[in-house]
Amino acid sequence: MLRKSLIDRFRTSFLARAVVTVLAIWIFSTLVAACVPIPTDPTSVQSMPSDATTDRVTPTVPLTDRDVLVALYHAMDGDNWLRSDKWLTDAPIGSWYGVVADNGEHITGLDLPENGLSGSIPPELGMLTELEWLGLSDNGLTGTVPPELGMLTDLEWLGLSDNGLTGTVPPELGMLTELEWLGLSDNGLTGTVPPELGMLTRLEWLGLSGNRLTGTIPPELGMLTRLEWLGLSYNGLTGTVPPELGMLTKLEWLSLSDNGLTGTVPPELGDLINLESLSLYSNQLRGPIPAELGKLINLTTLDLWDNELSGPIPAELGKLTKLRELFLSGNQLKGCVPEVWRNVEESDLEDLGLPFCDDP
């Protein structure tokens, strides 16, 4: 019932926004395809065909994938890239450094990480409609994430991490229904986490850590049932941890650390039976540690330090025999520590100051 209610509620709000978005994108693409220049001087006259029997202006040719690459090269200061082999030459674009193209010279992949790119991401990238892979991480890109990227409906990988991007996360990215990887970590993005990202039901990796995002964690993220990695740490997120995250049963890594999250640790997180790392440190979470976390038998890292958690450590957590990293200090925990944790490789149990349960 929780999932059905969530989907119904989300579908209503998303479809309304999507209609407006699709209409705007259609208008943009139509205008670009036509490429009919508008005179800056109202008295100027556009050049006419030599056939005087017609009064129609001949439109220019729409941008090709090669044209889009040229625009990208100039927008991202291509002259100063570390590598730009064959760019701006007459060679097939599939032979240009970092470009993958089919035989018809339609670009399917563009991979230029750690290549000294700077400047902004040109909106013309939205015209590469057969693009499946876009990797521009670890560069010096600035400006915003263009909403036109939402037109890349074949895209499976979008990597823009470790740049200097600002502005908001475009809700139009929720239209990339083939997307499996979305990396936007370590930028300067602001605003909220768009609930539209909950429509990316093929997504396996979502990285938004290390930005300046605010607002709450949208419960719609609970619809990403293929997700294996979710990173929202080092932001300014507030509100509670949505219990809907407990529906992400394929999740292996969950980090919500270093935010301003309040409320309790949802017992639903105990349903994440494939989870290997749970990091919730440096928030304002209160109440007891849920005994349900004892079901996370694959957990190797449990990081709950620097919160306001209280009460005894549940005996059920003694089932976490695979733990290699354990950090619980900076809370108001009491009682004793499960004996099985005595040999954990890295921990702050000394700082916690509690005895082991089997100690006399």
**3-state SS, residue 101:** strand
C-alpha span between 234 and 211 (Å, rounded): 7
Q: Token pair of 222, please?
A: 């609970």
CB count within 10 Å of CB 31 equals 11
* This prediction's pTM: 0.84
Alpha helices (H) in the chain, listed in sequence order: 2-34, 65-75, 349-352
pLDDT at 292: 98
pLDDT at 359: 65
> Sign of the CA dihedral 192, 222, 210, 78?
negative
Residues 121/75, Cβ–Cβ less than 8 Å: yes
The residue ranges of the chain whose pLDDT is under 50 are 2-4, 7, 9-12, 14-16, 18-59
pLDDT at 59: 41
pLDDT at 246: 98
pLDDT at 22: 44
pLDDT at 360: 56
C-alpha span between 295 and 270 (Å, rounded): 6
pLDDT at 60: 52
Q: What is the CATH topology of the domain spanning 66-352?
A: 3.80.10
Residues 327/351, Cβ–Cβ less than 8 Å: no
